[in-house]
Amino acid sequence: MSEIILMEDIAAQLVATSKGILAADESTGTIKKRFDGISAECTENSRRDYRELLFTAEGVSDFVSGVILYDETLRQSSNDGQRLAEILADQGIIPGIKVDMGAKPLAFSDGELVTEGLDGLRDRLAEYYELGARFAKWRAVVSIGDTAPSQYCIDANAHALARYAALCQEANIVPIVEPEVLIDGSHSIDECYAVTETTLKTVFDELYKQRVVLEQMLLKPNMIVSGQDCTEQAGVDEVAAKTIYCFEQTVPAAVPGIVFLSGGQSEAQATEHLNAINQMGDHPWEISYSFGRALQASALSAWGGKSENVAAAQKALIHRCQLTSAARDGEYSTDMESSS
């Protein structure tokens, strides 16, 4: 995995027809919460076993173009001694890496967050490249509330995202730029639209200032949806229409692909929205997915932390991948949810 491949080619492979990205980059703390939910012990070995079952499911490479890994996972080997990153690469799946250090309180701001992790990033990226990573991810979070978000918060996160992206491209690693407007709250879909539009305009302005090559990156944004506590939830068609309109106003055509995050939506909800967006006609970018829980939830539940359930978990994963792949091509229907 030491050959030099053009970043434009990596980006194109990640958004290939019928394929998307599996986000398996949960931090140790986050995956412990997931394991607690299924009463499974969270150890280095159990985390390895779970991720190994995801990566070795028969047929996964038909639907997954790349996998975002956590630092621990990129360094781990399977039970038979092969590195997990090599297991992916041998199937034609591109290994990626989460490089941010999480969202921390933003100074002189009331409850807002800024993502940290720029210190030492250049050296970490060089090491990650040697370990096989060919793309990376950095997540910024923007909340909607009575007085949030402030332009200060948006500016701080956009600047960090752009500096991260520039360092990635310097290291020949494709950056996935993830500015997430959170679904938490009672805000309307129109409030989500307004905040997302402002955030994306600010992000692309910073990317330009930091000399990031748009053809060598991917965008991982939220869909335009109602807040999860909003009493009037927007329908699927409204979500699709407002999402596409927002991105037409903010995302340059030079960006090769948009890989949506699921952002707290259920598996079926995220899939239905992705399908409706892709059914709206031709777009200047490929529109795909970079889902975490919306690809993993059923598999995690089926596994339950037990080795005898690996086959069932892999079956659940592949089924979910099939449906999400269909949505990526605009060919999904809710009837497919109950098919085996």
Residue 127 among the catalytic residues? no
55, HSE (Cβ side, Cα atoms, 13 Å)? 33
Is 19 one of the catalytic residues? Answer: no
List of residues 6+ apart from 47 with CB closer than 8 A: 28, 31, 72, 73
Q: How far apart are the first and last CA of the chain?
A: 36
70 near 34, Cβ under 8 Å?
no
User: Tokens standing for 266?
Assistant: 């259920």
- How many Å is the maximal CA-CA distance in the chain? 53
CA distance 224 to 128: 33
- Catalytic residue among 180, 220, 267, 286, which? 220
Instruction: Indicate the SS3 state at residue 221.
Output: coil
Task: Reduce the DSSP state of residue 196 to 3 states and report it.
Answer: helix
Cα separation, 135 vs 174, in Å, equals 4
Catalytic residue (one of 26, 52, 112, 178):
178
Task: Supply the residues annotated as catalytic.
Answer: 178, 220
